[in-house]
Amino acid sequence: MLRWLLVVLLLVWAAPAFGQPTEWRVYYPLQVKHRWTYVSSDPKAAPDPKQKKGADANRQLVIEVERAEEFKRKVKKGEKETEEKFAGFILKMTSGDKVKRDHVVVIDEGV
């Protein structure tokens, strides 16, 4: 009985080590120059006069990791204020002639 109790206690104690990844890259694998292209089509959309005849009316969204940028935030621990650093990235999203940039930061609470 004591042996089983010790085994259960060992498993409970060691479980958090197996449940947590050691690094944020496990869930959010970003590197500069990574690129994703999404293509969608809408059969109800009006044909684009710029496209060749017979071409599908596709639209593309291209997301690219433009650059890495460190993110810093100030945290108050007791009376002392410290600075935490996190991995951050600038994502460039392009669709047609429209360009948008988002700042993505991987912190302990999530992305």
Q: Would you kindly state where each structural domain of the chain is located, as residue ranges?
A: 21-46+53-106
Does the pLDDT value for residue 110 go beyond 60? Answer: yes
Average pLDDT over residues 19-39: 71
Q: What is the pLDDT of residue 45?
A: 67
Give the chain as a DSSP string.
-HHHHHHHHHHHHHHHHHHS-SSGGGT----TT-EEEEEEE-TTSPPPTTSPTT---EEEEEEEEEEE--EEEEEEETTEEEEEEEEEEEEEEEETTEEEEEEEEEBTTB-
Q: Which amino acid is at 73?
A: R
Instruction: State the chain's mean pLDDT as an integer.
Output: 75
**47 vs 77 pLDDT, higher one:** 77
Does the pLDDT value for residue 61 go beyond 50? Answer: yes
Average pLDDT over residues 80-86: 88
Q: What is the pLDDT of residue 92?
A: 93
Assessment of whether the complete model's pTM goes beyond 0.75: no
Does the pLDDT value for residue 91 go beyond 50? Answer: yes
Is-contact 70 88, C-beta < 8 A?
Answer: yes
